[in-house]
Structures are given as structure tokens and as C-alpha cells.
Amino acid sequence: MQTESAKMTTAREAAFRVPYANNRPRSARLVALDRASEAFVAHLVRGKPSRVALPLTAVDDPIAAARALIEALDATDLVVMISTEGEDAPAASVIAEACRLRRLPVIVFVLDTPERADELPDRLGHLRPYASMLVRATGPDYVEDMLTALRV
């Protein structure tokens, strides 16, 4: 049975329709940009085969992080960076450049903490240049919901 929308579409318009559903789950690489977000990233990837955590060496050694990311980028659709502290992490720039070269979107979540609320504009400003989308996350559940909405 055709829908009313399909019945009203002309043959010329129908030529632009995608003939298959795009419901394939995405594959994402999640990166903790600071020590405080490492456990949260580990929680986000637990039990989710489409999510892979890059090691925390991204915080300690940006060059090693870049190598690990470059090797992992061929099998991913999206890179997600998580920050609780929001400092200008050196790994963020290296990861963002590797993603830019491969035209991969980068989403940065900055977890908002009440004790650092007055520092939020500066924290967001440091990470803005590296993100296709920068999100102020009001809590861990918000990040999980966003990743689910992104089919990750």
C-alpha cells in the first residue's frame, strides 16, 4: 500500500528518492581528553560494539594518540571527544586534524559540573576550534541519549 505522500509525488520528484533505508548503525571512536572523563568513556563503550574507546594516551602522548587514531579511522564514521575539565587538551588538536584530513565529523561533549559552572565559557572556547559540533552536556545521561540519537 502506498502512502499519500508517495501517491502525490511526481515521477520527476521520485527520481531523487533514496531507494533503501539508511538505518545502518554508525561506528564511533570515543576519546577521553582528560583523566576525569576516562571512566565515563569506559562506561559509554561497555556493551556497545559500535563504540570503541581510544586509549588515554591521548592525554599523555598526543603523537601516540594520533597514530592510534589514524589506524582506527578507516573503520569509523564519527569521532567523539569527551571532556570534563575543558582545558585546551593537546590531543584535541591532533585528533581534530587527523579527522579533518579524512573528512570525519568530530563531536566534543563538555560535561558541565556545578562546581565549575563559572568557567564554562572558557572551557567551551578552548575546544570549539576542534569540533564539528560542540555540546554542553548537562550530565552523563545526556551524552548517552545524544549518542543513541546519532545511531552510535
* DSSP character at residue 79: E
Query: Does residue 123 lie within any of the structural domains?
Result: yes
Query: Is 62's pLDDT higher than 80?
Result: no
The backbone torsions φ and ψ at residue 78, rounded to the nearest 5 degrees and listed phi first, read -160, 145
Contacts 24+ apart (CB under 8 A), 55-60: 56/32, 58/31, 58/32, 58/33, 58/89, 58/91, 58/95, 59/32, 59/33, 59/34, 59/35, 59/89, 59/91
CATH number of the domain enclosing 44: 3.40.50.10140
Query: Does residue 35 lie within any of the structural domains?
Result: yes
Residue with the larger pLDDT of the pair 59 and 32: 32
| 67-124 residue pLDDT tens | 766 777 778 889 999 988 666 577 788 888 888 888 999 999 988 776 666 666 777 7
Query: Does residue 64 lie within any of the structural domains?
Result: yes
Query: Does residue 15 lie within any of the structural domains?
Result: no
Look up the pTM and report it. 0.75
Query: Does residue 4 lie within any of the structural domains?
Result: no
Query: Is 54's pLDDT higher than 60?
Result: yes
Give the domain extent around 107.
Answer: 27-149
